[in-house]
Copies of this chain bind each other. A is one copy, B any other.
């Protein structure tokens, strides 16, 4: 009885023939149009069942003139940061009836081409951080594909969402100064990403306000190994505090310090950024960000832009948004007498 054809998927024509109707009727029946009789609809349903028919989305999308899919471009997926953003994006997008295409640009040289290709497969695209240059962003924007930039420097005419870096970095620095720290190192590369520049900038500004010298800059990559490497170098003459560009680097510095027989925070303070799970267990003072929300807002903005685009040419002005971040104080920045008894906890 099972009429599974060899391998080729059934088309709307075969369903129509099997049900004894035209393809137009099949299409309408499947889209729940009220233009078909209940009886006809039933016949079509039966044919669909019998042939195990699934509509070809390419045909459908081509006819409708929409992909019903959004894309997101990010450097990597290791570490919770990008993964959470992507998850928030996917969740919001799929609620809006859109599939999500992903593209990781790290470890590929043809990133720009890959992003352009991706742009041709979606109705809207989110571009994160340090992935492609402004030229590529402008080229995509020029084709009319709605775009939103995440944690990335703005480009004229394109929506941008970022998280607060500078102000929270200043707050972090104030806290460290209050602990009595005076000689600072910043581990991370302000040139590498705008987020990092903001964090460094906030630190510099705060130190200046306190009449302290500029932090020593130690550019490095953003993983544990890079942090360990920087940490080892620093242990010859440890500073009071090492402010790290993210948690992975901070954890690396932490490891290097302990390996060198120094303890955190007694001998030196270490802070990170992102509030990864490990930060809690390392007692790392850090900053938490609304990552999922970042992704979700991007998806919703894009949906709005896609709607506008179909509505007419009157395009609203580009939007900017900065999401708040929160200092998470734990052990690693210096002793807190009034601390909660649970050494693994954290206080915001």
Using CB atoms and an 8 Å cutoff, list the residues of chain A in contact with chain B: 4, 6-9, 52, 54-59, 61-62, 67, 69, 76-80, 83-84, 86-87, 90-91, 94, 99-104, 107-108, 114, 116-121, 139, 142-145, 224, 248, 251, 254-255, 258-259, 276-278, 280-282, 309, 313, 315, 342-344
What is the minimal beta-carbon distance from A216 to any residue of chain B, in angstroms?
25
* A69, B101: Cβ atoms closer than 8 Å: yes
Q: With the chains together, A55 CA to B118 CA distance in Å?
A: 11
Question: Closest CB-CB distance, A257 to chain B, in whole Å?
Answer: 10
Of the residues B4, B107, B248, B344, contact of A255 by C-beta under 8 Å: B344
Nearest Cβ distance between residue A332 and chain B, in whole angstroms? 11
Contacting pair B114 A94 (CB below 8 A):
yes
B80 touches A87 (CB 8 A): no
A7: which B residues are within 8 A, CB to CB?
Answer: 144, 309, 313, 315
A143 to B117, alpha carbons, bound, how many Å? 28
Query: What residues of B have a CB within 8 angstroms of the CB of A62 in the complex?
Result: 58-59, 62
- 11 A–B contacts, CB within 8 A, in A order: A7-B144, A7-B313, A57-B117, A58-B121, A77-B83, A77-B90, A80-B80, A94-B103, A100-B103, A258-B344, A276-B277
Q: Which residue of B lies closest to A68 (CB)?
A: B121
Contact A103 B99 (CB under 8 A): yes
Q: How far is the CB of A266 from chain B (nearest CB, A)?
A: 16
Per the bound structure, the CA–CA distance linking A90 and B299 in Å amounts to 21
Using known A-B contacts A99-B103, A100-B101, A282-B281, determine if residue A255 contacts B59 with beta carbons closer than 8 Å: no
Q: Which of B58, B99, B116, B342 contacts A101 (CB 8 A)?
A: B99
Chain B contacts of A104 at CB under 8 A? 87, 90-91, 94
In the A-B complex, the 7 residue pairs with the closest CB atoms: A278-B278, A83-B83, A77-B87, A277-B278, A281-B282, A281-B281, A57-B120
A94 to chain B: which residues have CB within 8 Å? 103-104, 108, 114
Most chain B C-beta atoms within 10 Å of own C-beta, residue among A117, A121, A255: A121
A117: B residues at CB distance < 8 A = 57, 99
Residue of B nearest to A7 (CB): B144
